[in-house]
Chains A and B, each alone.
Chain A
Amino acid sequence: MATKASRSAARLMLAPAVILLLGWMLVPLTMTLIFSFQRYLPLRGGFQGWIGFENYTRFVTSSAFWPSVQATLFIVGGVLLITVMLGILLAILLDQPMWGQGIVRILVIAPFFVMPTVSGLVWKNMFMDPNNGLLSHLWRFFGADPIIWLSDASMASIILIVSWQWLPFATLILLTAIQSLDSEQIEAAEMDGASALSRFWHIILPHLARAITIVILIQTIFLLAIFAEIFVTTQGSFGTRTLTYLIYQRVLESQNVGLGSAGGIYAVILANIFALFLMRIVGKNLDR
């Protein structure tokens, strides 16, 4: 619905964004792809020849690979489970009539705005420290031996920290979705004699289905890439080395760029699987 003149102007205005993003995507990705077929150790002789898919097989056969996949799945799965379930409950709670609703919402959302390094360190030192942390004070208060959180329960600790960061996101989106539910629908269900529980199952939950899917997909993409929380707490030790962290170590710590790049390509493929699902949902939304 426009004239030719405005169409060519539009193309011109779109061009910088497309060129920048195309460059941002293609150039580094191509380089990663090229490195992944090389034996490339910048600190130990640099480029040492083309080795085909050896990096790819080495990456998956190394003893660190499967534990890292496992750690990734645990963290992503655990955080998703906690944030989505608690998020639904919190969203329903915050939708109820109460005094000071706005303030409560602000309190609940706040953790999302805390930078990852701060939340990692605050939890690590001030709460989970076995000597001086608040949680160990609490344990001692009840006469129990404090838990050495980040080594004895490292996975649970990381899941706790990351869930605390992402619960606000899930809650906020699900709350927005609940508020878009037509109150007449709920009233109609009440008139039809549906109990609170069956109203939840048959009306609220189906209404939330799309929002829940979106929360899961977006969080998955971000959670697959969490880095700073691990970087400032366990540094990948005690079974918390995720795929992202493993690749980071291969590339920057041990400077085995070829091997790390092969890992990077795996990560790209993994993220794209989830991205495809997300884009299908978002794309459907565009057609409306």
Chain B
Amino acid sequence: MARSVTTQRKTLNTLIAWGIGLLIFFPILWTILTSFKTEAQAIADPPVWFFFDWTLENYRVVQERSNYSRFLWNSVIIAGGSTILGMMVAIPAAWSMAFVPSRRTKDILLWMLSTKMLPAVGVLYPIYLIFIKLGLLDSRFGLTIVLMLINLPIMIWMLYTYFKEIPGEILEAARMDGAGLRQEILYVLTPMAIPGIASTMLLNIILAWNEAFWTLNLTAARAAPLTAFIASYSSPEGLFYAKLSAASTMAIAPILIIGWFSQKQLVRGLTFGAVK
């Protein structure tokens, strides 16, 4: 809203908003700060804020003792793999529904949405059983497939709303200009859809990275991603706040960065295009 306000009013707004913003952000800030402290400083009362001996020791210990990079790698493979696989299925599906709609398109879209609503716990045992039978338990591949499937509806929906914004006349123009289906997709549709595809991928990486039902229940030592690795800190022994903080900081940093880039698209994706 382009409305003029007094500087006084603006100052007041700024103070309140920054105060609340910092309060909400504080647990994250505190975690990041703590990750650079020694264990003793981490639990000091009164707490130490900025003036302590900054150390990278915790990061080193987390990596050495628990082989952090392996969990990180699992997370990358699972989040990245499920996103790429998902896009391979979602892009053609969204394309066809956006540009060649039929009478059933709306029903199909809503049905896809309804599969996202299925409570995971309702199908936990069957999936568990299938995983055992197929030898997929505690495998990155199995988890990748499951995460791809649970996020597929969101991917299709989000892409659909982006594709819908591409005017159909442009595709018809390409057809008139002699482009076949393959060329139409390659030279016209894809370049125009890239921003939408990129946002969809980012959102999906965030969702897959943070997923914490299937990752906890379908993995053990081998395929566990960061969500499961962090959960192993829930029954600790001794002083460990600084190390928990270091592990947590590393686990959330990539997503914080991706998330900040895609905050606008987040709304569209998570509301299935109902709020833009």
**Chain A residues whose C-beta falls within 8 Å of the C-beta of B30 in the assembled complex:** 122, 126, 134
Main secondary structure of the interface of A (DSSP, over half): helix
What is the 8 Å Cβ interface bit string for chain A, positions 249-264, against chain B (1 contact, 0 not)? 0011000010011001
Query: Which residues of A sit under 8 angstroms from B209, Cβ to Cβ?
Result: 115
Q: For window 5-19 of chain A, which residues contact chain B by CB distance below 8 Å? A: 6-7, 9-11, 13-14, 16-18
Interface-side segment among B2-10, B58-66, B136-144, B191-199:
B2-10
Cα A244 to Cα B119 with chains together (Å):
8
CB 8 Å contact bits of A89-116 with B (1 = contact, 0 = none) = 0100111111111011111111111111
Contact of B14 among A16, A100, A186, A221 (CB under 8 A): A100
Most buried by B among A97, A231, A247, A274: A97
Interface string of B215-247 (1 = CB under 8 A from A): 011000000001110110110100001001100
A125 touches B129 (CB 8 A): no
List of A residues within 8 angstroms of B109 by Cβ: 286
* B173 within 8 A of partner (CB): no
Of B22, B120, B121, B168, chain A has the most CB atoms within 10 Å of the CB of B121
Cβ of A202 within 8 Å of any chain B Cβ, yes or no, is no
The segment from A52-60, A73-81, A172-180 found at the interface with B is A172-180
Rounded to whole angstroms, the CA-CA distance of A206 and B272 in the bound complex is 21
A2 touching B100 by the CB < 8 A rule?
Answer: yes
Does A279 lie within 8 Å of B110, measured CB to CB? yes
Size of the B side of the interface (Cβ < 8 Å), in residues, is 102
In angstroms, Cα B26 to Cα A62, docked, is 42
> What is the CA–CA distance of A174 and B156 in the complex, to the nearest angstrom?
23
Are the C-beta atoms of B24 and A164 separated by less than 8 Å?
A: yes
B113 touches A122 (CB 8 A): no
Name the residue on A nearest B109 (C-beta): A286
| Contact between B93 and A113, CB atoms less than 8 A apart | no
A98 engages B233 (CB within 8 Å): no
**B135 on the interface (CB 8 Å rule)?**
no
Nearest Cβ distance between residue A198 and chain B, in whole angstroms? 18
A1 located at the interface, meaning its Cβ lies under 8 Å from any Cβ of chain B in the complex: yes
B274 touches A10 (CB 8 A): no
- Do B24 and A110 touch (CB < 8 A)? yes
Q: How far is the CA of A20 from the CA of B5 in the complex (A)?
A: 54
Q: Is A85 engaged at the interface, CB distance under 8 Å to the other chain?
A: no
Kindly state whether residue A268 has any CB partner on chain B within 8 Å.
yes
Residue in B9, B28, B47, B275 with the greatest tally of chain A CB atoms within 10 Å: B275
**Is B108 a contact partner of A94 (Cβ separation < 8 A)?**
no
Bound CA span A131–B255, Å:
31
In contact, A17 and B119 (Cβ under 8 angstroms):
no
B125 contacts A104, CB within 8 Å?
Answer: no
Chain B positions 56-115 with a Cβ under 8 Å from a chain A Cβ: 89-90, 92-93, 95-97, 99-100, 102, 106, 108-115
A153 interfacial contact with B, CB 8 Å? no
Contacts of B270 in A (CB 8 A): 169, 173, 218
Question: Is A275's CB within 8 Å of the partner chain B?
Answer: yes
Docked pose: A139 CA to B93 CA in angstroms: 56
Q: How many residues of A contact B (CB 8 A)?
A: 112
- Chain A residue, CB-CB nearest to B45: A137
In the complex, the answer to whether A114 meets B28 with C-beta atoms within 8 Å is: yes
Q: Is A224 an interface position by the 8 A CB rule?
A: yes
Q: Is the CB of A225 within 8 A of B24?
A: no
B241 near A121 with CB under 8 A, answer no
Kindly provide the distance from the CB of B219 to the nearest chain A CB, expressed in whole angstroms: 12
Contact B122 A267 (CB under 8 A): yes
The CB with the most chain A CB atoms within 10 A, among B129, B181, B272, is that of B272
Contact, CB under 8 Å: A27 / B121: no
Q: Which of A113, A186, A244 is within 8 Å of B121, CB to CB?
A: A244
Cross-interface CB contact of A282 among B5, B9, B93, B110, cutoff 8 Å: B110
Task: List B residues at the A interface (Cβ < 8 Å).
Answer: 1-3, 5, 9-10, 13-14, 16-18, 20-22, 24-25, 27-28, 30-31, 34, 42-43, 45-47, 89-90, 92-93, 95-97, 99-100, 102, 106, 108-115, 117-130, 149, 152-153, 156, 168, 181, 206, 209-210, 212-213, 216-217, 226-228, 230-231, 233-234, 236, 241, 244-245, 248, 251-252, 255-256, 258-260, 263-264, 266-267, 270-276
Can you report 15 A-B residue pairs in the complex whose CB atoms are below 8 A from each other? A20-B89, A32-B122, A32-B125, A97-B10, A109-B259, A110-B259, A111-B24, A117-B216, A117-B227, A117-B230, A122-B248, A126-B245, A225-B121, A251-B124, A260-B124
